[in-house]
Amino acid sequence: MMTESNPYRGIGHPLSDSLFQILRREILQGTLHPGTKLSEQKLSEQHGLSRTPVREALHQLESEGLITTIPNRGAFVVGLSTQDIKDLYEMRRANEILAVKWAIDRIGQEELENLGEAFEFMEFYTLRGEVDKMLNINREFHEQIYRAAHNRMLLQTLTTQQYYLSQTREGASYLSGSLTVVLEEHRNIYRAFLNKDREAGAEAVAIHLDNARKRAGNFS
């Protein structure tokens, strides 16, 4: 039985989804190492949940390939290999180039203004050298492009890929000394939207993602 102190109470999402998000983050960040056994009973006791939402969360993790279930032995963490991460960068690059092209063709005026506002915040946080806030608004900038492409399947795919990479990269890929470079890369992307130049936008985002991969390290 859940108590008032249970962190899953009243958050507006199914309990299994909340546990899934916690475990997924811990796997991607390396807190839960490959080979770690995930016991339904221990997870149930640790998080104050019944077996049902725990089992559902494990099924979600298995559907994403982050854990594997071995008959008569239980569930074990698989995580992401270095090759998996390299592949993720390649897939995100291809998908985001497509998203930028579609978004430049389909973006509405209000969406364009919101993108411009996000870029202005990037300028502000760059001048202040606030890395964490720059990272957050950077993610928002890209997510606005995904939404402006007006394709729900591409939105879901890119949002997931971006989340995976943001959790698995070693520390922030945008160190203080790189903020101005990152800002200029986004300026080129935003300028392509203002000019309605889909080819320039595709080139700008490709350069940005290639450089982001290099800044993340170990995955070039």
Contact status, residue 122 vs residue 196, Cβ threshold 8 Å: no
Q: Which amino acid is at 177?
A: G
* Whole-angstrom distance, CA of residue 14 vs CA of residue 116: 35
Reported as a pLDDT band with limits 50, 70 and 90, residue 3 is very low
Contact status, residue 210 vs residue 93, Cβ threshold 8 Å: yes
Q: Is the pLDDT of residue 7 over 80?
A: no
Ramachandran class of 91: left when φ > 0, alpha when ψ lies in -120 to 50, beta otherwise: alpha
Better pLDDT: 169 or 180: 180
Q: What is the pLDDT of residue 1?
A: 37
Q: What is the pLDDT of residue 42?
A: 95
Going from the N-terminus, what domains does the chain have, and what CATH number goes with each?
15-77 (1.10.10.10), 82-216 (1.20.120.530)
Reported as a pLDDT band with limits 50, 70 and 90, residue 176 is low
Residue 56: CB atoms within 10 A of its CB come to 16
Residue 28's Cβ-side half-sphere holds a number of Cα atoms within 13 Å equal to: 23
Share the mean pLDDT of the chain: 89
Report pLDDT digits (tens) over 136-167. Answer: 999 999 999 999 999 999 999 999 999 998 88
Better pLDDT: 9 or 33: 33
